[in-house]
Amino acid sequence: MKPCPPPAPHPRKPKFAMPANACDTHAHIFGPAARYPWSPNRGYTPPDALPADYERLHAALGVTRGVITQPSVYGIDNSATLDYVANNLARLRAVVSVGAEVTDKDLAGMHEAGARGIRVNLADRGGNPFASFAELHRMADRIKPLGWHIELLIHVHEMDAYINDIKRLPVEASVGHLGYMPATLGADHAKFRGFLDLVASGRFWVKLTGAYRVTGMKQTPYSDVTPFAHALIARRPDRMLWGTDWPHPICPVPMPNDGDLLDQLAEWAEDATTRNQILVDNAARLYGF
């Protein structure tokens, strides 16, 4: 099982002033493994990344709110995520992973514990608990009364096979990691331009996260990602979200410092008004803070 390095141990403060109620919309909690055992079908084995570590990260960055996203290493067992979030509802929300067999009672209980969406991984179909889009659409109908959304992990340059199914979803959707398209393909790529049009429709949110997952560079700043972020923000600043992707479980380049990653947002959104919209207002709308 592929091991993962830990995050940088000393995150530094960002170079710009963080607004009150800034939200980290994408992070994971891992462990302790003795209490929350890994799924045998996981694709990697992370080191422990505990709530206390996450809170130290936020204290260093000046972040107040957070969204814990269910990681694939736990499958559809959301215990580690919800145990933490349920005890911190004033400042935390969750995105969970469920299968078609989940009951409406279970969904209601997750909502009370802070869940506001489900995660569906189409980039790695082994992480998708739904056998078909018909099944996913039935689940979307069930979560719609809760006001939930679907968080999609997709490679936007490879989504032709299911783009029409995504467009027909009866709930809003968020897309992680700037669309998960390799920066080497360029922001003028026809598939990315199509993704921009999709975002412009107003039913999709984009997480400005995981730049190190798509960059062709080894060190921050990942300047090859900047044109993608600029294009997305210019198209729909009211649908952009920011997150750390802490503790960076899929990091194919040398582990960056979280302060350096946050400083990239100041390069992508140079004026404070737009940054505050991304950091505070948009997240509050989607996750119900």
Domain CATH number, residue 134: 3.20.20.140
pLDDT of 126 over the 60 cut: no
Q: How far from chain centre, in Å, is Cα 140?
A: 19
* pLDDT at position 123: 79
Per-residue pLDDT band for 266 (boundaries 50, 70, 90) equals: very high
Whether the CA torsion 57, 58, 61, 65 is positive or negative: it is: positive
> DSSP labels for 29-53?
-B--TTTSPPPTT-SEEPPPB-HHH
pLDDT tens digit sequence for 78-87: 999 999 999 9
In tens, the pLDDT along 190-212 reads 999 999 999 999 999 999 999 99
Compute the mean pLDDT over every residue in the chain, rounded to the nearest whole number: 95
pLDDT for residue 268: 98
The one catalytic residue among 245, 258, 263, 281: 245
Query: Per-residue pLDDT averaged across 242-263, rounded?
Result: 96
Q: What is the number of structural domains in the chain?
A: 1
Q: Which residue range is the domain that position 266 belongs to? A: 2-287
Band of pLDDT at residue 127, cut at 50, 70 and 90 = low
Question: Does the active-site annotation cover 238?
Answer: no
Q: What is the pLDDT of residue 97?
A: 96
Q: CA-to-CA distance for 190 and 214, rounded, in angstroms?
A: 17
Q: What percent of the chain has pLDDT over 90?
A: 88
- The mean pLDDT value for 104-113 works out to 98
pLDDT score of 139 more than 80: yes
DSSP calls for the chain = -EE-PPPPSSPPPPSSPPPTT-EEEEE--B--TTTSPPPTT-SEEPPPB-HHHHHHHHHHHT--EEEEEPPGGGTT--HHHHHHHHT-TTTEEEEE---TT--HHHHHHHHHTTEEEEEEESSSGGG---SSHHHHHHHHHHHGGGT-EEEEE--GGG-TTTHHHHHT-SS-EEE-GGGS--GGG-TT-HHHHHHHHHHHTSSEEEEE--HHHH-S-SSSS-TTTHHHHHHHHHH-GGGEEE---BT-SS--SSPPPHHHHHHHHHHHS-SHHHHHIIIIIHHHHHHT-
145-180 confidence digits (pLDDT tens): 999 999 999 999 998 888 899 999 999 999 999 999
